[in-house]
Amino acid sequence: MREVRLSSIDLNLLLVFDAIMIHASVSAAADQLHRTQSAVSHALARLRTIIGDPLFVRTPGGMVPTAYASAIAPRIRSALFEIQDALVPQEAFDPARYRGTIAAGMTDYMAYLLLPDLAARLAQAAPGLTLDVVPCFARACAAPLDDDRIALFVGNAPPDLPPWLVSAPLYQERQVCVARCGHPAMAGNLSVDIFLAQRHVDVSPWGDAGYVEAALAGLGVERQLAVTVGSFLAVAPVLERTDLLAVLPERLARRMAQSHALAVALVPFDLGISPIGLTWHRRLDRDLRITWLREEIAAILLADHDPLARSTDPSLTR
């Protein structure tokens, strides 16, 4: 890899690089940039010469980025957004006059908790804003945030947060045990022995062993699973009609107990606590639409929660 002088780089070359990364196609990149396919191919050839890397390999499935191209792509895209943001003055954001769509990723659990209040708030304050809720999990939110499929993720803090993402915690969620009202296991203090004597419903969107199994493995025991589901919202109806137990986030469990005949108890072993908050790409730090939406979501989640701990992270509303 040769040393690259900034003076040799035309900004248009980076726009071509970013467009090909997005579309995996020279012709589609040309359409996006309103340039001819020949001009885009020529620009890619110039960039390859300057950098000293092929950047993309043509395959039957499209233009596949090299390892180097994949490594620099998020930083190039972030830099392009920074330049655009610096050159375009920000106007005050008026939610009442805004017309457009913002995509937010969240689990079905978070959507269940947040959307009733958020939809009501948007209908009143921003009637022209369309909120596109995209099913998403913390461990898989980095890619859709990076390629603009979502502007915001609401939920657990993502593991191994890359440097181009920001995560601002709001509150900490603990896990509780849930069963039908009148279940004998919930009559007194729920012990580990009583917990293990029951059969359980497990929520596993990815089909793998989760945090409950990991905690029990640390104790040298395991629970008896009767049903495994991919959605949190499938649990309550199953618990109502069986003697099964489940471990759920406390806030979800207590909300479900209001509309289903369910009892809630503390889990008799340590499962730790999960930080719940907002995650977004650093290029959107100064996007006033996203800042406003973050503030609205934060206000709703904090107002409706008696937290174990709350965050005062200033990055939430910066």
Residues in the chain, how many?
A: 318
> Identity (one letter) of the amino acid at 176?
V
For residue 308, what pLDDT is reported?
Answer: 39
Please give the Cα distance from 311 to 299 (Å, whole number). Answer: 12
Q: Which domains does the chain have, with CATH numbers?
A: 6-87 (1.10.10.10), 100-172+274-316 (3.40.190.10), 173-273 (3.40.190.10)
For residue 5, what pLDDT is reported?
Answer: 65
For residue 206, what pLDDT is reported?
Answer: 73
Q: What are the CA-CA distances from residue 240 to residues 114, 119, 270 (Å)?
A: 24, 29, 26
For residue 313, what pLDDT is reported?
Answer: 39
Please give the Cα distance from 236 to 116 (Å, whole number). Answer: 19
For residue 318, what pLDDT is reported?
Answer: 33
Please give the Cα distance from 262 to 186 (Å, whole number). Answer: 10
State the pTM of this model. 0.69
Query: Which is nearest to 243 in space by CA: 291, 296, 196, 181?
Result: 181
For residue 317, what pLDDT is reported?
Answer: 35
**Six-digit token string for 173:** 């969620």
- Stretches where the chain sits below pLDDT 70 are 1-8, 88-91, 207, 304-318
For residue 38, what pLDDT is reported?
Answer: 92
Residue 244 burial (10 A CB sphere; 0-12, 13-18, 19+): buried
223 Cβ neighbours under 8 A, 6+ residues apart: 195, 196, 198, 200, 212, 213, 216
Q: What share of the chain is helix, strand, coil (3-state, %, to 5)?
A: 45, 25, 30
For residue 99, what pLDDT is reported?
Answer: 93
> Identity (one letter) of the amino acid at 277?
G
